[in-house]
Every structure is written in C-alpha cells, then in structure tokens.
Amino acid sequence: MPALPDLHADQADVKGVPRTPRQAGVTTRKTLCATCDIACSVVSEVVDGRVVRVRSSDNPIFRDNICIKGIAAPKGFAHPNRIRRPLKRVGERGSGQWQEVGWDEAMADIAARLKAIVAQHGPEAWAVSTSQWNTGTDHGLGRRLMNHVGSPNWISGVALCAGNTAAINRLTYGWYPMADFSSTNCIVLFGHNPKRDSWVPVHNQIQRAKARGAKLIVLDPRRSENAEQADIWLPLKAGTDTVMLFGWLRVILDEGLYDHDFVAKWTIGFEDLKARVQEWPIERVAAVTGCEAEMIRAAARIYAQGPSIIPWTPITDMQRNSTSAIRLQSILRAICGNLDVPGGEVLHGFNPMIVSESEIEMHHVLDEAQKAKQLGSDTHPAFTYRGQAPLLDACERVWGHRYANQVTGCFMANPSATFRAMAGEGAYPVKAFFALGNNTLMSFANMPLIHRALLNQDLIVVHEQFMTPTAQLADYVMPADSWLERPWMMDGYGWVSIYRPSQKAMEPPEECRSTFDFWRTLAAAMDMPQVVPWKTIEDFYDWRLDKVGMGFEEFAETYDIYAPKPAFRKYEKTGFATPSGKVELKSSILEGLGFDPLPYFRFDPDMTDDYPLKMFTGVREGEYFQTGGRHIPELRERCPEPVLFVSPKLAASLGVAEDEWVQVSNPTGKIHMKVGVRDSMPDDLVRIPHGWWKPEMPQGGETLSGALKYSDAMLCPDDEDYLDREQGIPHLKGIPCRIDKLDPAETAA
C-alpha cells in the first residue's frame, strides 16, 4: 500500500508564531472544534465565505491541540452525503424513500403528531436522546421544552460516558471535580488512553506533566500508548478496576497513608469503609486483577504521596461495577487529600456571571408526579431524578442552585428501560422518539432491542448532518448545521466554571439549522413560544451574558477563556453539597435507595463452552469520532474496515490470521469483523471497535448501511447480569463471545 499523506503535515507551518495563512485573502475565526467532545480551540481560515483550513490555535495555552478529525472536518461537512434539506419519509419506515419539505412545514406536522401522541398516551410517551457535545447549541433547551411539555424521558450517550461519572461523584461529595494537570505530581489513567489523535489536549497535558517530572500510572489490560510511557503499568484483567481500587485503598489504609485530619473532620463512614476493605487483602486483589502484589503496593504509595489526579475515564463508566468503581475513585481522592487542592481535583461550582445550562433546563417546572414516571428510576435510580433528589437542598445550600445537571448526566432516564418502553415492553408506552446528534441505534447496548424499539414508534424525528442508520429509520430527518457554521458558547458541560466562545466561521448550507433553532421552532409549533423566546442564538447568548455586561460578539472577541479566579478548599466555608455536608464514604443516598452504601464487587458471570472468549468494546480509532466520519475519504483510507484485535497466541489458537474475516457472536447478536493480530493484546481478551457502519452501503433494508452487520452494539447485552445495579448502565468491558472463521465467499465486504 502506498504511504498515506501525513494529515498533520498541514499544521507544520503553524508551530511558531506569527502564523502565515496558506492562501491569499484569508480571514480567520476563533473556533471550537466539536467533532469530538473535548472541544479544542482552533482557528478556522476562511476564503470567500468558506472554511478552507482548520489549524491549531494561536493562543499558546492551546498550541498543538488538534487532531486529524478536526483537520479533516471542513471536508467532512462539505461532503455530498451531507443532509441539506428537511426530509420526510414517504415509503415504509426504513425504505429510504424521502420527500424534501420546508422546515416550517415539517415542524408544523411534527408538532401536530407529537401533540396527538401526548394527548393519547401522556407526555411521558415522548422520549428524546441527544449527545450534548455534538449538538453544541442545545444548551439545555431540549430539556427545558420537555419539562414544560411534561416528559422526564431524556436519555443520552452520557449515560455511559462522563454524565454518569458526574452523577455518581455527586453522591460522595456533591460536585464532580476536574483534574488539575498543571501542577499535579501523579496522573492515574484507569484505561483512559489519550493519544495524538484522541483526546489531544489531555494527551498534551500528560506530556507536559511528565516533562516536569510527574509520575504516570496506567491500568490497562492492553499495552496501550500510555502504558508504554508509564512509570507503572498495571495490566489488570478487564472489568476488575473496582478490585484494583480496593487494593490501593487497602495499602493506603494499612500503611496510614491517608490524610488523617481531613478524614476526621470531613468524612463520614470511615470505619465502615475500613471494614469493607478488609475483604480485600493484597494477595486476593493480585489474584483477581492478575497484577503483581508489589506493583499494586508501589502504585498505591505513589498515588498517596500526592497531589495526584485520577482524570475522568469512560472505562469505569461502562462496567457492571461502575458505581462502585467510580465511588472508590471518589473515596481515594477524598481520603488522600486530593480534593479541591492545587494539583488535585477541583470542585468548580457554577460560574456566577453566566446563566448555566442547569438553570436553563428549568427542572423545577416538571411536577413530581411526572418525575416519578422517569423510566428506570424504580430499578436503577442512581442518575435519575429519584436518585439525585436527596442532593437538591444541599446543592442549593453550597452551589446556589438546586439542579446541578453536570455533564447533563444527573437527571436522566435509564436508556435500557426507555428502549424497552419504546418496544412496548415497559410499564407504559413511549411512541415518539427524537434523536438529536445521537446515533441512537448504535450507541447503547442491545442494538436488536433498540432496533425493535425504533420500529415500534409512531413518530421518529432525527436532527442530523448525515443519513446515519438511526436517521434511516426516521419519519423526519432535519438537517443540522456544524460547528463551523454557528456561534457557540461552551460551558465545559457544567462540569467546570470555565466558558469558551466559538465564532461562526461560515454560513450553514441550504436549510441546515442549529439545535437552538430546532427547539425554538418546535416550541413555537407546540404553541409554547415563550419557552424559547429568543429569536436568534446570539440573542440567547446575550441574555446569558447579561451580568458580564457584554454581548456575545464582544465576549467572543475579548476572551479565549472566561473563568473565575480558582479557589481551593471551598468546603471549609460551605461544607460539601451532600445530605450530611461531609464526604460520604458510606453513601446515605445509596442506602436510602436500598443499595449497599459501600462499594462492593460482583464477579462477571462465568464463560461458557459456547462463548468461551471475553471481549470489550473500545480503543478509539484515531480517524473517527464514535460512529461518525466513515464517509471522509482521507480518513477512511487509513482505517477502511472494522478490525478486532487479538494476541498472536489467541489468533493461533483460533486458527485465524491478520486480515481474515470472522464472525463474532454471542446470545445478543452477531457481527463480522476483520482480524488484527496485535502483540499489545493480552491472550485472554478480544477488542471490538465501536461504531462501525459503511455509509456507502445501501440505506435501510437488510443491514441499514452495514450497522446490523458491523456495529459493536449488536454484541452488548443489557440483561440484568450485564448491567451495573445502581445505574443500570451496560458492561462493555467483559462480554462473552465466540469467534468463527468466515468462508471468504461469504465475506465480500
């Protein structure tokens, strides 16, 4: 294969300042890339009203924060596949027959049909799924309209990525803290693997911290990029992070390495925790995790020296012991004195100068009877209204508002319960489903269930840039703008008090519109124009910025970053935003919900003869963000097919070789993948890539452009054995499967 061009080469001339535009007549706009959720500050170069290049920011703080997905984004958005006009389904659902309609006409029909469904089944029959990060300009307006209409059934990919971490962190100390990379002495990565083309700002922060001497500890079954540069790499068994955390706690408690004053003054439940940790002698931890006892001790001791950080990781968001793992991380932070200190993890609270998305959502208008109907709140309440309700008073006391919807994950319905209700298998029917910037079909567990759920809807509306497998099943596909084509005010997902503005760099094509416009026009068509009263998104931002005393345009010209001066140990004045005002090592909230108030570990179900292998889904591909991007030729030629990874030994025992096609199956479903033999993989684990479909394959029909043939979600179970108890999120890090070689004749891709 000929060598592929280095997409980063295009950035080479911008390493020094000042920077030279590559073309005459260039104007520049300060933009935030929203192709992935980390939102790098970049510069858009515009010629004749079109963005011709995206490059890394001129601000030294953000230098080199760019990846090939951001670089390729203008090409991706200009691609002929882009949806440019509202489409109304005219044939059978999923038949690929569409009629172009005007935006207003579409919204009028959508509103009429939604009203009819609400009238017949109640407002809770309307569910919405979004991913805040992609839509960018939702800003809580979707929830605001839902709260006024009366539906609690909002779900999101954040249920298994960061939103749930935020909700669970709040149970322990009331706010989800942010890692301070700038002055930490030790970074601990639980699987999380930032690299050159994934999570680039964090990758760069890790490199800078290492250069100043900070230690890096990596826990990963695979020899990942970060494992290779770690001071300590603990190659734990997949899904055993909770046990490893118990091991660290054991060392820290036995050796007295915790912050005694903090524990005495600011925590409750220490003695109970100690008793629970006794269940985990280091030898037992070593046996279960497969790591050496001495290495576990060494890692725990370095962490305890501090100040240390355990930056957010999605890996413990997606395990059947997720709640316990996240709670144990929170507990470690607290008892080792890493909470709200420089170089540790900082509790930001709201920015007092800007109206937050949590406020915009107006959760107080949804009445208690409707909140109680939130799907999944009876069985898996941790991040639902019911689970988070005990925090409301405390949140108001400490942070000034009752509803802190951090990372939009704190008042969600449970996705699996929602899909069951949509499929007609729940407590009540859900008959209208809206997906905004979320490829719902492929982005949760049990895809066959989601497929059934979608086919059982009376109304599906999708706001999208491309004809995703989810969009292919819609009644209406509404064309979305992109991050180059709209202004944005980024609030760090309500996690931090830092705001960053993004300037609109070009006009959206044809009828493409922002999520703000989607909700504004829907509210008006639902006869609720007062719910979204702002005419333009700039008016809306001006309103939010009222206290700053600047309009959005001036704000965006003036600031790259807008944040209050950092303050530490704020709890000394206010207490923590928990029911007790302390760090709850033993959680009163979990106890009140009928769960074990202390962390615990459930072993994975045993493998069977039929499904003897263990797989996880993950290892992000540098080329794509999640299920997107496969239509961009520059990226696709680098990563043309879905590839599973196995070790050379496992490949040999299965009788499969590099580039051969295989079927991966389990009781949930089956898919086809290509084999990649990697010596970085352990011998007892299979890696399945997330989010594969092929936009060039036929829409609808047998495979929905390959989604039913290649998507990892076909293999992810959501029965109780594979759900975290408290949150009900799926276990993506230890799923049984088998691998069978395919007859080459069957596999013409």
Ligand X SMILES: Nc1nc2c(c(=O)[nH]1)N[C@H]1C(S)=C(S)[C@@H](COP(=O)(O)OP(=O)(O)OC[C@H]3O[C@@H](n4cnc5c(=O)[nH]c(N)nc54)[C@H](O)[C@@H]3O)O[C@H]1N2
Which residues are catalytically annotated?
37
Which of the listed partners (ligand SF4, Mo ion, ligand X, none) does 691 bind, with a CB threshold of 5 to 8 Å by partner kind? Answer: ligand X
Residue with the shortest CB distance to Mo ion: 161
Q: Does 635 bind ligand SF4 (CB under 6 A)?
A: no
Which of the listed partners (Mo ion, ligand SF4, ligand X, none) does 480 bind, with a CB threshold of 5 to 8 Å by partner kind? Answer: ligand X
Instruction: Please identify, among the stretches 63-71, 486-494, 528-536, 679-687, the one whose residues bind ligand SF4 according to the rule CB under 6 A.
Output: 63-71
Cβ neighbours for 594, distance < 8 A, ≥ 6 positions apart: none
Cβ at position 314, least distance to Mo ion in Å: 5
Cβ at position 74, least distance to Mo ion in Å: 23
Backbone phi and psi for residue 484, each to the nearest 5 degrees, phi listed first: -75, -15
Q: How buried is 679 (Cβ within 10 angstroms: 0-12 exposed, 13-18 middle, 19+ buried)?
A: exposed
Considering the complex, state which of residue 374 and residue 705 has its C-beta at the smaller distance from ligand X.
705
Cβ at position 508, least distance to ligand SF4 in Å: 19
Q: Does 39 bind ligand SF4 (CB under 6 A)?
A: yes
Closest CA to 341 of 312, 306, 305: 306
Which of the listed partners (Mo ion, ligand X, ligand SF4, none) does 405 bind, with a CB threshold of 5 to 8 Å by partner kind? Answer: none
**Residue 45 Cα to chain centre, angstroms:** 29
CA distance from start to end of the chain: 19
Considering the complex, state which of residue 98 and residue 625 has its C-beta at the smaller distance from ligand SF4.
625
> Using CB under 6 A as the criterion, which residues of the chain lie in contact with ligand X when the complex forms?
36-37, 69, 131, 134-136, 157, 160-161, 190-193, 197-199, 219-222, 224, 236, 238-239, 241, 313-315, 436-439, 443-445, 463-466, 468, 480, 482, 515, 616-622, 624-628, 690-691, 712-713, 716, 732-733
| Contact pick of 7, 14, 67, 227 for ligand SF4 (by CB under 6 A) | 67
Segment (H or E) for 308: strand 308-309
Segment (H or E) for 345: strand 345-346
Which of the listed partners (ligand SF4, ligand X, Mo ion, none) does 450 bind, with a CB threshold of 5 to 8 Å by partner kind? Answer: none
The residue with tokens 């059978």 is 92
Packing angle of the helix pair 241-254, 270-277 (nearest 10 deg): 110
The residue with tokens 């970053």 is 561
Cβ at position 625, least distance to ligand SF4 in Å: 6
Count residues near ligand SF4 (CB under 6 A). Answer: 13
Helix, strand, coil percentages in the chain from 3-state DSSP, rounded to 5: 40, 15, 45
Cβ at position 505, least distance to ligand SF4 in Å: 14
User: CA torsion 405→409→415→421, rounded to 10°?
Assistant: -10
Q: Does 505 bind ligand SF4 (CB under 6 A)?
A: no
Cβ at position 621, least distance to ligand X in Å: 6
Q: What is the DSSP letter of 712?
A: G
Cβ at position 482, least distance to ligand X in Å: 5
Taking the C-alpha atoms of residue 300 and residue 245, their distance in angstroms, rounded to an integer, is 9
Which of the listed partners (ligand X, Mo ion, ligand SF4, none) does 433 bind, with a CB threshold of 5 to 8 Å by partner kind? Answer: none
Which of the listed partners (ligand X, ligand SF4, Mo ion, none) does 66 bind, with a CB threshold of 5 to 8 Å by partner kind? Answer: ligand SF4
Closest CA to 432 of 738, 73, 149: 149
Site for ligand SF4, residues 17 to 36, rule: CB under 6 A: 33, 35-36
Name the 3-class secondary structure at 501.
strand
Considering the complex, state which of residue 44 and residue 330 has its C-beta at the smaller distance from ligand SF4.
44
**Residue 378 CB: number of other CB atoms within 10 A?**
14
Beta bridge partners, 583, equal 267
Burial 444-454 (b: 16+ CB within 10 A, else e): bbbbebbbbbb
Considering the complex, state which of residue 628 and residue 728 has its C-beta at the smaller distance from ligand X.
628
Q: Does 66 bind ligand SF4 (CB under 6 A)?
A: yes
Instruction: Please identify, among the stretches 64-72, 127-135, 163-171, 489-497, the one whose residues bind ligand SF4 according to the rule CB under 6 A.
Output: 64-72
User: DSSP assignment of 585-649, as one string?
Assistant: SS-HHHHHTTS-SS----PPPPP-SSS-EEEEE----TT-STT--TT-HHHHTTS-S-EEEE-HH
Assess whether the previous peptide bond of 648 is cis (omega < 30° from 0). Answer: no
Cβ at position 632, least distance to ligand SF4 in Å: 12
Which of the listed partners (ligand X, ligand SF4, Mo ion, none) does 331 bind, with a CB threshold of 5 to 8 Å by partner kind? Answer: none
The residue with tokens 């299920």 is 627
Considering the complex, state which of residue 161 and residue 335 has its C-beta at the smaller distance from Mo ion.
161
Q: How buried is 107 (Cβ within 10 angstroms: 0-12 exposed, 13-18 middle, 19+ buried)?
A: buried
Q: Does 325 bind ligand SF4 (CB under 6 A)?
A: no
Considering the complex, state which of residue 317 and residue 542 has its C-beta at the smaller distance from Mo ion.
317
Q: Does 40 bind ligand SF4 (CB under 6 A)?
A: yes
Contact flags string 193-232 toward ligand SF4, x per CB under 6 A: -------x--------------------------------
Instruction: Please identify, among the stretches 67-75, 274-282, 313-321, 599-607, the one whose residues bind ligand SF4 according to the rule CB under 6 A.
Output: 67-75
- CA 640 vs CA 4, 65, 660: distances in Å: 13, 25, 14
Structure-token pair, residue 132: 């805040």
> Using CB under 5 A as the criterion, which residues of the chain lie in contact with Mo ion when the complex forms?
161
- CA 678 vs CA 191, 291, 703: distances in Å: 17, 21, 29
Q: Are 145 and 528 in contact (CB under 8 A)?
A: yes
Considering the complex, state which of residue 69 and residue 582 has its C-beta at the smaller distance from ligand SF4.
69
Considering the complex, state which of residue 443 and residue 699 has its C-beta at the smaller distance from Mo ion.
443
Considering the complex, state which of residue 153 and residue 198 has its C-beta at the smaller distance from ligand X.
198
Residues that bind ligand SF4 (CB under 6 A): 33, 35-36, 38-40, 65-67, 69-70, 200, 625
